[in-house]
Structure 1
Amino acid sequence: MAEVRQRPGRGPGGARDPQDKESESENRLDGETASDSESRSEFGGSSTVQTSDDTPEVLNRALSNLSSRWKNWWVRGILTLAMITFFFIIIYLGPMVLMTIVMCVQIKCFHEIITIGYNVYHSYDLPWFRTLSWYFLLCVNYFFYGETVTDYFFTLVQREEPLRILSKYHRFISFALYLTGFCMFVLSLVKKHYRLQFYMFGWTHVTLLIVVTQSHLIIHNLFEGMIWFIVPISCVICNDIMAYMFGFFFGRTPLIKLSPKKTWEGFIGGFFSTVLFGWLLSYVMSGYRCFTCPVEFNNDTNSFTVDCEPSELFQLQEYNIPLVLQSVVGWKTVRMYPFQIHSIALSTFASLIGPFGGFFASGFKRAFKIKDFANTIPGHGGIMDRFDCQYLMATFVNVYIASFIRGPNPSKLIQQFLTLRPDQQLHIFNTLKAHLVDRGILGSLEDA
């Protein structure tokens, strides 16, 4: 009889040997499928990118006698206090510094994500990936920040001839810049590596969508008032800290496989702590105009101002306590700011939905078998590791303001009205006058 040859690793009938299955399974990355392995070979071998924390030597010596668990606890705690202190400092320095910091954080987060992609991509020595990535970052920032400048600094833009021209053709210029990058990408395509290059093209654009768009929304929230910037960010920070604390001391029940160290005890404890923290922080900040007034640009002094008459949102109101709770607390009414009610929605989102930004980042890191995006902050990883939940929060706050808070802005309408030609101003004036007379409003004002 002819000898029946079997392929290595297969049993009788061509079936794969169970031990080989287990061995192959162990060698794959978490959650990796066969197609993932094939993709890795196309990308030039393993896509694994390893990072490590560079803990300062002084901390290593001071904590050398502790176990790794408690050493990590102290390192994270000390660096967290340092970051909170830095956060207070930049708030004190004002809106312009805050916007600059947001821009710097955006660039660093983009760099960390793109670097992971480049470590996969550079094996083939294909042209222009990093150059095009940074070029597209420049284009998208030019578009978004140009829109912001035109919207919030309208009078200044109209006053300066170069700015007025750039503002008038802003979207066309933005499109032309992006189109240039698009053509450069097409010209950079290399035979036999088209799939990889389009993969990295998508990588860059998804990164831009996540990072640049969200940082743009953060700045928009800032212009609505510092409180809309500080409270949401502080709630995410509080939830991150308290979830870690409750999980560290009381955690027993795993929450999600993507983050094995996350526990239900930490998740629930973080939720209640964050809601209480957001409610108290909102009470304190609502009493200060520097936090509640919209950030506006003063054309006379060429500087930002935060002085206004507080809206009803930041004026103490009296609320009746439900009868069920009156016997418990012993009060019939309570005085609080309406913003505190909104803060409950913000802190709830930060506690229940915000962590999913972190889970998303955890899944991304597991896909490439990395511990952190970078090793910028000892014990914490990269900047993106600290801001993965903040970006999701920024979108929610912007949508929340647009849906429930923001109304027409008379000052912006007046600014635009004053830039029109005299005949256009007269036409608007006569139309508005006729409308007010028809409604009987103008006549009543004249009689008064």
Structure 2
Amino acid sequence: MSELRQRLGRDADGQLDSEEKESELENKLDGETVSDSECKSEVAQVAPVDDTPEVLNRALSNLSSRWKNWWVRGILTLAMIVFFFIIIYLGPMVLMMIVMCVQIKCFHEIITIGYNVYHSYELPWFRTLSWYFLLCVNYFFYGETVTDYFFTLVQREEPLRILSKYHRFISFALYLTGFCMFVLSLVKKHYRLQFYMFGWTHVTLLIVVTQSHLIIHNLFEGMIWFIVPISCVICNDIMAYMFGFFFGRTPLIKLSPKKTWEGFIGGFFATVVFGLLLSYVMSGYRCFVCPVEFNNDTNSFTVDCEPSELFQLQKYNIPTVLQSVIGWKTVRMYPFQIHSIALSTFASLIGPFGGFFASGFKRAFKIKDFANTIPGHGGIMDRFDCQYLMATFVNVYIASFIRGPNPSKLIQQFLTLRPDQQLHIFNTLKAHLVDKGMLPGSEDA
């Protein structure tokens, strides 16, 4: 009776609500109730759309769906490879812009999934804040890259020098503005969903923007560090599909039922051989092996240098066990080809797990592809799920086994110091070289 009285009293005072409704909503959000089940049903209701161009549909109308899909994927793959060769020909700056465009498109595809799943809740400012955070993170990363790789250009231009000096503070201020905007947008009945989408946006930034930034870093080390890893992933994707299509019998992983062990193993061997051959061809061209630098005399970006030992032919002794089989005792190859074995092995054995991760993500939301941008292939993110993981590995590999101190960068930074600081460094370096016996001491002079 007392409980009934309390309820009637709350009704009379008009205070029913908010906490009970909000707790009810939050309880439903725990586990797989409202948020998960509704989003699944909403996504599941979307009917699959045939995005194949009408020309191909007519030409392939007499084929079974299996072979029709094979031809559609094949034709579109060839078209993408041709486009890839074209942008390589246009140079590193165009490649950097293409990477930027791909990053934006991938971000859009993932954010759109989140927006469509929770569209009925009409979260305030969600899209605006997502794109604002993308802008902030890109400003931070690209500013760091420009300052690091083109220090001379930055120091020569007054506006760039000021932006470079206070770059991190400006980046933090921009992010802090977005953070405050998010807090101000919080609505009581949508707290949990808003924080969920806040996390969704930041994880997307971590996966897409951070790793695309690493692709740019690899590109500036030399186009070969950009082209070979990407080509190995493409080769592995194609060859694994081909081996799986014609010889596949044994399922590989439940997340991707069409993946087979035959495709996985065949793709591995094909990719390693492809990586060796591609590396041999590209190592002989300066435009591929030289890092991207800014030339003060011509006021332009150049890729001309004296190739390092990594890209000069060396003679290697073949193991005795193999000498009797192939009949050779030595072989001439570029040292980079040895590194290409590591790159192609990662692209074949670990790279596909980026695709498995994406498959798990899509299965969680009952969608076939991230988008329908490319007929037969899905969205841009469907094609770059393995590329981002590969970019991270290449960047770590370069930092761990390849990159050393860059004398030209040190000299550039040295010249920007005050005269007294330059003199101090000069005297310190001179004393160090005298102690090493590389310069005569004052007594010897």
d(CA) in 2 for partners of 1:297, 1:77: 40
Q: Deviations over 1:254-288 (max 9, x none)?
A: 00000000000000000000000001100111111
Q: Deviations over 1:19-66 (max 9, x none)?
A: 999999999999979994388699xxxx76666341110000000000
Is residue 247–residue 266 contact of structure 1 (8 Å, CA) maintained in 2? Answer: yes
SS in 2 for 1:301: coil
Deviates more, 1:9-18 or 1:110-119: 9-18
TM-superposed CA distance for 1:323, in Å, is 0.7
Instruction: Flag structure 1 segments of 5+ consecutive residues without an equivalent.
Output: none
Instruction: Report the equivalent of 1:12.
Output: 12
TM-superposed CA distance for 1:369, in Å, is 0.6
TM-superposed CA distance for 1:443, in Å, is 1.9
Q: Deviations over 1:317-348 (max 9, x none)?
A: 11111111110000111111111100000000
Is residue 26–residue 192 contact of structure 2 (8 Å, CA) maintained in 1? Answer: no
d(CA) in 2 for partners of 1:373, 1:305: 37
Instruction: Report the equivalent of 2:292.
Output: 295
Deviates more, 1:76-85 or 1:48-57: 48-57
TM-superposed CA distance for 1:440, in Å, is 1.2
Is residue 358–residue 388 contact of structure 1 (8 Å, CA) maintained in 2? Answer: yes
Select 1:424's aligned residue among 421, 424, 429.
421
Q: Deviations over 1:81-136 (max 9, x none)?
A: 00000000000000000000000000000000000000022212221000000000
d(CA) in 2 for partners of 1:65, 1:345: 44
SS in 1 for 2:297: coil
- Residues 116-195 of structure 1 correspond to what in structure 2 (within 5 A)? 116-195=113-192
TM-superposed CA distance for 1:446, in Å, is 13
Q: Deviations over 1:394-439 (max 9, x none)?
A: 0000000000000000000000011111111111111111111121
Is residue 40–residue 365 contact of structure 2 (8 Å, CA) maintained in 1? Answer: no
Q: Identify which of structures 1 and 2 has the higher relative contact order when contacts are C-alpha pairs closer than 8 Å and 6+ apart.
A: 1
Instruction: Return closer, same or farther for 1:63/1:427 CA change in 2, 3 Å cut-off.
Output: same
d(CA) in 2 for partners of 1:375, 1:298: 42
Q: Deviations over 1:220-239 (max 9, x none)?
A: 00011110000000000000
Is residue 223–residue 294 contact of structure 1 (8 Å, CA) maintained in 2? Answer: yes
Deviates more, 1:222-231 or 1:3-12: 3-12
Is residue 49–residue 116 contact of structure 1 (8 Å, CA) maintained in 2? Answer: no
Is residue 29–residue 367 contact of structure 1 (8 Å, CA) maintained in 2? Answer: no
SS in 1 for 2:7: coil
Is residue 11–residue 17 contact of structure 1 (8 Å, CA) maintained in 2? Answer: no
Deviates more, 1:407-416 or 1:425-434: 425-434
SS in 2 for 1:360: helix
d(CA) in 1 for partners of 2:24, 2:176: 45
Is residue 251–residue 258 contact of structure 2 (8 Å, CA) maintained in 1? Answer: yes
d(CA) in 2 for partners of 1:415, 1:55: 53
SS in 2 for 1:343: helix
d(CA) in 1 for partners of 2:388, 2:313: 31
Instruction: Return closer, same or farther for 1:416/1:323 CA change in 2, 3 Å cut-off.
Output: same
Is residue 50–residue 370 contact of structure 1 (8 Å, CA) maintained in 2? Answer: no
d(CA) in 1 for partners of 2:105, 2:223: 23
Matched residue count: 444
Q: Deviations over 1:179-237 (max 9, x none)?
A: 11011111111112111111100000000000000110000000111100000000000
TM-superposed CA distance for 1:162, in Å, is 1.0
d(CA) in 2 for partners of 1:445, 1:274: 60
SS in 2 for 1:38: helix
Is residue 369–residue 378 contact of structure 2 (8 Å, CA) maintained in 1? Answer: yes
Instruction: Return closer, same or farther for 1:168/1:10 CA change in 2, 3 Å cut-off.
Output: closer
Q: Deviations over 1:241-266 (max 9, x none)?
A: 00000000001110000000000000
Deviates more, 1:83-92 or 1:30-39: 30-39
SS in 2 for 1:397: helix
d(CA) in 2 for partners of 1:310, 1:127: 54
SS in 2 for 1:373: coil
TM-superposed CA distance for 1:302, in Å, is 2.1
Instruction: Return closer, same or farther for 1:185/1:25 CA change in 2, 3 Å cut-off.
Output: closer
Instruction: Report the equivalent of 1:388.
Output: 385
TM-superposed CA distance for 1:300, in Å, is 2.3
d(CA) in 1 for partners of 2:330, 2:441: 39
Is residue 53–residue 375 contact of structure 1 (8 Å, CA) maintained in 2? Answer: no
TM-superposed CA distance for 1:18, in Å, is 38
Instruction: Report the equivalent of 1:334.
Output: 331
Deviates more, 1:183-192 or 1:342-351: 183-192
d(CA) in 2 for partners of 1:406, 1:339: 13
SS in 2 for 1:40: helix
Select 1:77's aligned residue among 74, 77, 90.
74
d(CA) in 2 for partners of 1:126, 1:375: 25
Instruction: Report the equivalent of 2:261.
Output: 264
d(CA) in 2 for partners of 1:267, 1:9: 68
Is residue 51–residue 373 contact of structure 1 (8 Å, CA) maintained in 2? Answer: no
Is residue 228–residue 278 contact of structure 2 (8 Å, CA) maintained in 1? Answer: yes
d(CA) in 1 for partners of 2:76, 2:21: 44
Instruction: Return closer, same or farther for 1:229/1:51 CA change in 2, 3 Å cut-off.
Output: farther
TM-superposed CA distance for 1:313, in Å, is 0.6
**Identity of counterpart residues, as a percentage?**
92
Instruction: Report the equivalent of 1:111.
Output: 108
Deviates more, 1:133-142 or 1:49-58: 49-58
Instruction: Return closer, same or farther for 1:245/1:30 CA change in 2, 3 Å cut-off.
Output: farther
TM-score by length of 1: 0.90
Deviates more, 1:428-437 or 1:110-119: 428-437
d(CA) in 1 for partners of 2:405, 2:6: 76
Instruction: Return closer, same or farther for 1:153/1:24 CA change in 2, 3 Å cut-off.
Output: closer
TM-superposed CA distance for 1:166, in Å, is 0.7
Instruction: Return closer, same or farther for 1:122/1:297 CA change in 2, 3 Å cut-off.
Output: same
TM-superposed CA distance for 1:2, in Å, is 28
SS in 1 for 2:443: helix
Instruction: Flag structure 2 segments of 5+ consecutive residues without an equivalent.
Output: none
Instruction: Report the equivalent of 1:318.
Output: 315
Is residue 211–residue 388 contact of structure 2 (8 Å, CA) maintained in 1? Answer: yes
d(CA) in 2 for partners of 1:419, 1:70: 63
d(CA) in 2 for partners of 1:71, 1:125: 40
Instruction: Return closer, same or farther for 1:27/1:419 CA change in 2, 3 Å cut-off.
Output: closer
SS in 1 for 2:5: coil
d(CA) in 2 for partners of 1:325, 1:13: 90
